[in-house]
Structure 1
Amino acid sequence: MDQIHAMYFETKATRGFLTLLRYRWAVLAMTFVMIGMMARYIPTLQRDTSSDAFMQPDSPALIYKEKMESVFGLTDPLVIAIVSQDPKGVFFPEALSLVETLTKQVERIPYIDPDRVTSLATENNITGTEEGIVTDPFFDKNAERFTAPVGTQARANEIRNAINQFPLLQGSLVSRDGKATIIAAELLDEDSGTAAYEAFLAIVENADLPENIALHVAGEGAVSGYLSVYIDRDARKLNPMAGLIITFVLLLAFFSLRAAVLPNLIVFATVSGSFGMMAASETSFYVITNGLVVNLIGIAVADSIHIISEYYRLLRANPDLDKKRLVAMSMSAMWRPITLTSITTVAGFLALAFSSVMPPVYYFGLFGALGVFLAWVYSMTLLPCAMLVWPTKRLPYPFKHKESSKPSSNLAEKLMTALGRTVLNRPKTVVAISALLTTVVIVGSSLVVVDEARIESFKSTEAIFQADKAINQTMDGVYNLDVMIDSHVSEGLFNPQTLRDIEALQHFMETLPGVNGTTSVVDYVKQLHKAVQGGQPEYYRIPDNEALIGQLFFLYGASADPTDFEEEVDYDYQRALIRAQVDNDRYINNKIVVPALEEWIRNNLNRDDLTATVTGRVTVNYYWIQGIDQATLASITISFIAVATVAMCVFRSLTLGAIAAVPVGLAVLFVYGIMGFLGIPLGVGTSMFAAIAIGLSIDFAIHTLDKIREITHQFGFDNTALLTLFPSTGRALLFNFMAVAGGFGVLATSDVPPLIKFGSLVAIAVTVAFVASMTLLPALIMLIKPNALKPTFETEQAYALSN
């Protein structure tokens, strides 16, 4: 009955495609209109390369960071570091003149807030006299406490001595060894990061540098700004390369212009539709979205390979058959496995989307699923219509007959046939080797750890990567770990005990790994207190008198701009900011620092009259990376359950569903084993591969099992009959594998390291899945001989009569 039903269903499918082909010109017109409508939105895509993009908008860590930025007027800075190899460090006239010149140029950049540029050229030295506090700009020729003329070595020496007496500026503005200083600037609008970064680069490139001086541009603002340009440049290289590789694979498989052009048409339609919908829905283009184009190129072409292979197989067997019927029969034979594999791939992308808390990963999965769906739709409609209107019925070289009229055996068929003989003759050996390799990779998988650093979105040869490294080696650190203090009352920061609590917190923060220095209003209070006491070192402490603390702020405001403190305190002295400089932003370090700081605050600081909240860039990065391991496990679990369930439903057998899942499980295990042995951490790029690899890997198993079922239902578990799997379906899967692995492998040439890892790992997973589907899966079938694959009574009788 099953076979009769299948024959009826197939006939019904053929008739359905014949009806579709009857209206081919209308179908082609409608699809091209739809493609055009979607493609017109693509130029409106907006990019978002900020770290904050990886956080949900309602995330507490992000909310507190935005609140902190609002209160203290802070944004992620761009930094120019002036690094000197001169014995005098940066304290010689030419270097200090360079600082002043660059500062003025930065202040004139239209995207920069001129009031939030910080350097030696903008800061004041704080000293005291009997009359009160004296604030002298370091480069002011009329400075009261600097006696040497500006531009002389004597003045440079005075500035160096002043810095040595001003702990607040050590490590944050000038390196502790005097070899480097920075110019930090904040954006007026974070969306202008790219333009601001380019303006910084122009200033640096045109600077007249003294001997032994080097300039570096870094900072979170620089990273976000350059990343947009970086991924654009990367996409212009990767996407055409992926297209060329896919076209080469198609030509190699079919030796046919039609077979090379038509799949590329499906690719274009798929990519245009996915990214057109992305733009139309006002979804941002994130850093990792750059890899989606290459993904869809590899995925979209796979269906075409199977359909065109089946068409040429039927044409070779039935050269006199009407072309329309040939196309319809090809579609009728392939629509079912293609639909099933599309469903499993969609499930993989959706599992990635709904198991992730990071918006970029969510949208990667969502629009990846949409792309796979569109590829299926166009493969079911556009491709057969285009095949029919292509003005030729020529049989290409790999499918031609010899003079004896027998099909020729090309290299791919010979290789797959040889593989098939080995597998079918030695199934126990294949299973034993697979079991041994699985044990090894399980050990490797246990070594995988979660880690990520945003600066590693760039190759180590990039100037911005090297700048980050240079600044973190010379200064206290370019990454900010912040704590916002709230005393809950106006002028609450005049309370000596509150300031001592802040000081104690600073001391604790400086014990944390990677934290090399902290700054807060406490440092200003101590410097002011020392200044009014004649600069005596023992007075570099917090006064015991609340009124005196208030008086210190009043005296400073009388002699300098009171807004000098706006990055440390709010206008009514209720809230304060502690900022720690951290020399790396690796998750493996942040997961120690942030929880330890939060615990210390819970146990030692928070009370009714004083609260502290950990925030800042380091904290935000910690929280968005924190969920990677849980999200990865969830996406793998959901994907695996989804594809296994689909396989069980497809074959109406728990056993066959489990067997189909074996290559998928091996693919994922092998990649994690490789990651563990090679020390590749689980990060944003590497965490995404599993769900997508599962969706892709099951395709090979489904096509293989579908063909095996067709063979065994007709001939039983006969080696000679099963061998026909390899030169037919096996050959198509070989080129399917080459196209998908080649498409993802293109990412290995990316300039974005997370995409390199992502593409390489998916390519490895697909390779393992293909090999396992062509070796382990048939071997298991031969050993287990599942009941679901045994011939029906009717086919057994027919087979017996034919022999």
Structure 2
Amino acid sequence: MRYTQLLQYALTKPKTIYALVLFMVLTSLAMMPKLTIDTDPENMLSHSNTDRVFHNQVKSQFNMPDMIVVGIVSPTSIYQPKTLAILTQLSNDILNIEGVISQDLLSLSVVDNISQQANGGIRFEYLMKQAPTTQAASQAIAQAIKRLPMLDNTLVSGDNKAAAIYVPITSKDLSYPVAEKIRALSQQYANSELDFHITGLPIAEDQFGYEMFVQMGVAAPLAGCAIFALLWFFFRNIPLIIAPMAVAMATVITIMGALIGLGFTVHIMSSMIAIFLMPIAVVDSVHILSEFADRYKAGDDVNTVLNKVMSHLYTPMLYTSITSAVGFYSLLLTPIPPVKVFGAFIGTGILLAFALTVIYLPVYISRLSPKALINLQIAVAKMEQKGRLASLLQGLGAIASQKTKTILTLFTLLLIFSILGISKIEINDNPVNWFKADHEIRVADKVLNQHFAGTYDAWLVFKRATEQSSQVKAQFVALVKQASAANIETSTITALIDKAQKNKNNSLFNQELLIALDDMAFSSTSEQQVYIDNMVQFAEQQNATQKLFLQPEMLNWLAKLQQAMNATELIGKSNGLSDIVRTVNRELHSGDDSDFVIPASSNGVAQTLLQYQSSHRPQDLWHFVTKDYQQSLLWLQMTSGDNQHTSAVVDWVNQYLASNPAPADIEVAWAGKSYLNIVWQDAMVNGMLNSLLSSFVIVFLMMVALFRSFKYGVMAMLPLTFTISMIYGLIGWLGKAYDMPIAVLSALTLGLSIDFAIHFLQRVRELERETQSLTTALTLMFEEPSRAISRNAIVIAVGFTPLLLSPLVPYITVGFFLASIMMVSAIVTLVLLPALLIRFNRSAKKVSAA
């Protein structure tokens, strides 16, 4: 069915149209209770992403739960009986909070002091099972901390003015409720001189989710109110402007209902769908209302006028909607799942808004009373005749037509300036920086990272290369064949060999093989025993060799890596297996620093670890090494979670490993939240670039098809090109980091900036055909058409301004830059395109005259 037929049907069946829209809205509202919030940056990566899979494997293998960092800061020293009593009580209270993993909580009151016994040997006792009552006892704790590298500058700051409690949680989704309970517990000490802070990436991300939910419920209604007030200012007719507001509300409710109903979570990206669609959904309505008010006169048949208006505006509105949708659909090309969801639903929302606008809006206007329509025509006529906007646009049109060389020179210089700014853009992000500088999360982050080695962490994982040499395997296979020739049943051993060959990540010489060989010994004869002993001896030797992180050479290499790393300014400190081994070894011997070394033999290393497992927290060992001693984890503490900072750490480690290879064949990999942020940020940058380039080409081809002219297709893309360049150039010159909200602006700019150029060029061509004069067409263009374009730019810009009131930086960033994009793209369209049209026209006349 052609649109004219559809319009005629809608105008004759208004109740049917109203009923369909109402049904769509009510169905979508029924989906809203299923809403779930997700702000985990980990979900910026697909579940199958290699780095994400490895990160979760590391969390499981080394039992590394997500942690909230609670800091207690004293104006003097933390080692005061009263302060330590508060720390002890708060730690005990936190242990009783549901969702806290009590056995892994780190606090002075639950960790061990490692020291020598008076009669020799080693002693593990609680460092502070009960708070000290004297200053001397407090200082004894201070002295003990300085001797424990795993605790120094982790649980107590290097300046002794702050203590930390690391609170492990069963799920990162519990970060906010657990943090709220801790905040409530700390209020009982409000009269003390201590300051309490809570930070860490899990709480930053989860609290952002809570405040994002609040913001979503505040910003969208504020945007609606701002747009409603602006439409009233333009048209001074409340019954009429209810129509575009109804279109916007129906679009937002339907799209959000569909997103929730289809099972998608509301991520930081999709939380902005409502605020994006609200202003975008009314822009076509502004064009229709402006032209309807311009054409309608008292006594006219409303349906006839509507048919003329819609036949005139349908094609450019269709193309602007499609190109805007393409800009957002291009986000489907990115490898970031939440960005894909955002792009898909915004693109669909734009097309839905277009459909509602060209069907519902004419129906609504046709049902208005003649008095309301006359009031609209009078209000708009007065505003356009006497308004400042009309005078400003006429002056702008005169400048654009007369100062063509100056304008083109100026835009060329602006483009060069913008390109230089783009070259200065740096990629960086940090979820903590999603809050304003005075937010409690940001304040806590700043204070605690000034005192401690760092509240941000990354995990450097070392793994013994699993592939045994073919020669070693061949030797064992030969032993198995000898046993088989001696009538020993070796099918179980052969199956384990086949299993190891199929799965190269599994070692052949593991505990399973040793148990199988031990079982064979029970059923063997004395003559057969010699063959089994040969296999057992060979397997045990290889199994011992595989326990890489019991070997002194490897642990010494790790210790040197830590020492070199700690000497840089990139990390606050590192914690690893070598710290445990050296500490226990010191106390097993003299207790002097001279014995703070790795034992000379594997048996000596094993002895220190066996001693450590008799402590009150033996499970802490397995945070740093797997039970087969084939993998080890180095916990790095950093004072910054910025991507650039973490990238610098990764680069430094890569350079060190290249210059100082390990004494054995190992694999090295990264995990941890700070590292995952690098991964998804890089994926977003590359994905956004690909989506921008591909959608740019698609939109250009659409413009050539729309105007049936290569020249006009190029001209339609110029305002978009200049707007993207100028906005990103501004970002570079301002020193604003390229983060998540900035990354999506390219697609948003492409999706929105092209609209004005389409309306401008389409109308200029029509006016030029009617008047047979480009000059006259441009003069007329700066009447009603330019006012409609300007109103659209203002409506969209104002629609995004409520985001500036948000306490969340991504919302502020998007609000500011999108409002800027709308204004810049409108100005570029109204200034650059007339200048280009005149220059092209003069060039064409010169060619014709020649």
- Could you say whether these structures have the same fold, taking a TM-score greater than 0.5 normalized by the shorter chain as the test? yes
Structure 1 window deviating more from structure 2 (378-387 vs 659-668): it is 378-387
Q: Identity over the aligned pairs, expressed in percent?
A: 25
**Conserved in 2, the CA contact under 8 Å of 1:605 and 1:612?**
no
The structure 2 residue matched to 1:695, chosen from 747, 751, 761, is: 751
Deviation for aligned residue 1:210: 3.3
- C-alpha distance in 1, partners of 2:404/2:265? 50
Q: C-alpha distance in 1, partners of 2:191/2:610?
A: 41
User: CA 1:756–1:681 in 2, change beyond 3 Å: closer, same or farther?
Assistant: same
Q: Does 1:430 align with 2:418?
A: no
- Correspondence for 2:586 among 501, 523, 530: 530
Residue deviations 1:156-198 (CA, integer Å, cap 9, x gap): 0110111122222111221122111100011112222221122
2:187 and 2:268 mapped to 1: Cα distance?
27
Aligned twin of 1:293: 274
Deviation at 1:528, TM superposition (A): 0.5
Q: CA deviation at 1:683?
A: 1.2
Matched letter for residue 39 of structure 1:
L
User: Is the aligned partner of 1:170 residue 2:170?
Assistant: no
**Distance of aligned partners of 1:536 and 1:608 in 2 relative to their CA distance in 1, 3 Å threshold:** closer
> What CA distance in whole angstroms lies between the structure 1 residues aligned with 2:261 and 2:664?
49
Take 1:108 and 1:270, find their aligned partners in 2: how far apart are those partners? 47
Normalising by the residue count of structure 2, what TM-score does the alignment of the two structures yield?
0.86
Secondary structure at the counterpart of residue 282 of structure 1: coil
Question: Which residue of structure 2 lines up, in the alignment, with residue 125 of structure 1?
Answer: 113
The letter for the 2-side match of 1:65 is: H
Shifted more, 631-640 versus 660-669: the winner is 631-640
Q: Are the structure 2 counterparts of residues 192 and 334 from structure 1 closer, same or farther at C-alpha, using a change threshold of 3 Å? A: same
Alignment match of 1:51 (pick from 16, 38, 41)? 41
Is 1:82–2:64 an aligned residue pair?
Answer: no
Go from structure 1 to structure 2 and tell me whether the alpha carbon gap of 1:205 and 1:638 turns closer, same or farther (over 3 Å shift): farther
1:327 aligns with 2:314: no
Q: CA deviation at 1:721?
A: 3.8
- The structure 1 residue matched to 2:94, chosen from 103, 106, 119, is 106
CA spacing shift, 1:65–1:786, aligned 2, 3 Å: farther
| 2:258 is the alignment partner of 1:277 | yes
Which residue pairs with 1:303 in the alignment?
284
Contact 2:557 2:662 in 1 (8 A): no
Q: Cα distance, 1:600 vs. partner?
A: 3.9
RMSD of aligned alpha carbons: 2.6
1:158 and 2:148 matched: no
Q: Distance in 2 between matches of 1:523 and 1:13?
A: 75
Offset at residue 324 of structure 1 (A)? 2.5
* Structure 2 match to 1:645: 701
Q: 1:469 to 1:78 in 2, by over 3 A?
A: same
Greater shift after overlay, 52-61 or 343-352?
A: 52-61
Cα offset, 1:729, TM superposition: 0.9
> Of 125, 150, 157, which residue of structure 2 is paired with 1:136?
125
Q: Deviations over 1:579-604 (max 9, x none)?
A: 01011011222222223324544664
Equivalent in the alignment of 1:180? 162
Cross-structure match for 1:545: 601
Provide Cα deviations, 1:120-164, integer angstroms capped at 9, x if missing partner. Answer: 0110000123442101112236xxxxxxx9322121011011112
d(CA) in 2 for partners of 1:606 and 1:282?
48
Is 2:449 the counterpart of 1:466?
Answer: no
Tell whether the 8 Å contact from 1:512 to 1:593 is kept in structure 2 after alignment.
no
Q: CA offset at residue 63 of structure 1?
A: 1.4
What per-residue deviation string (whole Å, max 9, x for no partner) do you get for residues 645-701 of structure 1? 211110000000001111111111111221122111211111111111121111000
1:441-590 aligned at under 5 Å gives the runs 441-487=418-464, 491-590=547-646
Matched-pair contact (CA < 8 Å) for 1:398–1:410: no
Deviation string for 1:350-406 (max 9, x for gaps)? 12331x222222222121111111111211222222222334453455733999x99
Instruction: Give the distance between the partners of 1:229 and 1:63, measured in 2 at CA.
Output: 27
- Once the two structures are TM-superposed, the CA of residue 291 in structure 1 deviates from its matched residue by 2.6
Per-residue CA deviation, residues 30-74 of structure 1 (Å, 9 max, x unaligned), is: 121012112221231211112212222222221121011101221
Aligned-partner SS, 2:444: helix
Question: Could you say if the C-alpha distance between residues 717 and 435 of structure 1 is closer, same or farther in structure 2, counting changes exceeding 3 Å?
Answer: farther
Please tell me the residue identity of whatever aligns with 2:286: I
1:729 corresponds to 2:785? yes
Quick one: distance in 2 between partners of 1:99 and 1:556? 26
Distance 2:664 2:10 in 1: 73
Q: Deviations over 1:693-751 (max 9, x none)?
A: 12111100000011101011122234234311112111111111111111123322222
Indicate the residue corresponding to 2:512 in structure 1.
none
Cα contact 2:554–2:662 (8 A) shared by 1? no
Tell me how far 1:19 sits from its aligned partner: 2.2
Q: What secondary structure sits across from 1:515 in the alignment?
A: coil
Match of 1:777 among 833, 838, 850: 833
Shift in Å, 1:643:
2.1
- Residues 516 and 408 of structure 1: CA distance in aligned 2, closer, same or farther (over 3 Å): closer
State the Cα deviation string for residues 413-463 of structure 1 (Å, max 9, x = none): 333233223323333333333333333323322222222222110000101
8 Å CA contact retained: 2:237, 2:376: no
Q: Does 1:745 align with 2:726?
A: no
* Residues 428/555 of structure 1: CA separation in 2 closer, same or farther (3 Å cut): closer
Alignment: residue pair count? 766
The amino acid that maps onto 2:163 is T
Q: Relative to 1, partners in 2 of residues 1:600 and 1:278: Cα closer, same or farther, differing over 3 Å?
A: farther
**Partner residue, 2:676:** 620
- Contact 1:412–1:727 at 8 Å: present in 2 too? no
Please say which structure displays the higher CA radius of gyration. 2
Task: Show the counterpart of 1:677.
Answer: 733
Question: Deviations along 1:253-308, whole A, 9 cap, x unmatched?
Answer: 11111332111111111111211111112212112333322111110010111112
Determine if contact 1:80/1:182 at 8 Å carries over to the other structure. Answer: yes
User: For residue 801 of structure 1, what is the aligned residue in structure 2?
Assistant: none
Amino acid at match of 2:681: I
Pick aligned residue for 1:69 from 43, 52, 59: 59
Match of 1:636 in 2: 692
What SS is found at the alignment partner of 1:394? helix
Question: Which shifted more, 753-762 or 429-438?
Answer: 429-438
Kindly tell me: are residues 385 and 511 of structure 1, through their superposed partners in 2, closer, same or farther at Cα, counting changes over 3 Å? farther
In structure 2, C-alpha distance between the alignment counterparts of 1:236 and 1:786, rounded to whole Å? 54
- Give the residue type in structure 1 aligned to 2:799: G
Does the Cα contact within 8 Å between 1:482 and 1:615 map onto a contact in 2?
A: yes
Residue 248 of structure 1 corresponds to 229
1:389 paired with 2:367, answer yes
Q: Give the superposition deviation at 1:524.
A: 0.9
Secondary structure class of the residue paired with 1:197:
helix
C-alpha distance in structure 1 between counterparts of 2:260 and 2:376, whole Å: 42
State whether residues 401 and 408 of structure 1, in contact with CA within 8 Å, keep that contact through their aligned partners in structure 2.
Answer: no
| 8 Å Cα contact 2:74-2:162 kept in structure 1 | yes
Letter in 1 for 2:26: G
Q: Name the counterpart of 2:320.
A: 341
Larger displacement relative to structure 2 (741-750 or 527-536): 741-750
Greater CA drift, 638-647 or 73-82: 638-647
CA contact (8 A) 1:648 1:657 kept: yes
Alignment of 1:700-719 (within 5 A): 700-719=756-775
Q: Is the 8 A contact 1:479 1:618 kept in 2?
A: yes
Please tell me the residue identity of whatever aligns with 1:99: L
Q: Using a 3 Å threshold, how does the CA distance of structure 1 residues 494 and 606 change in structure 2: closer, same or farther?
A: closer
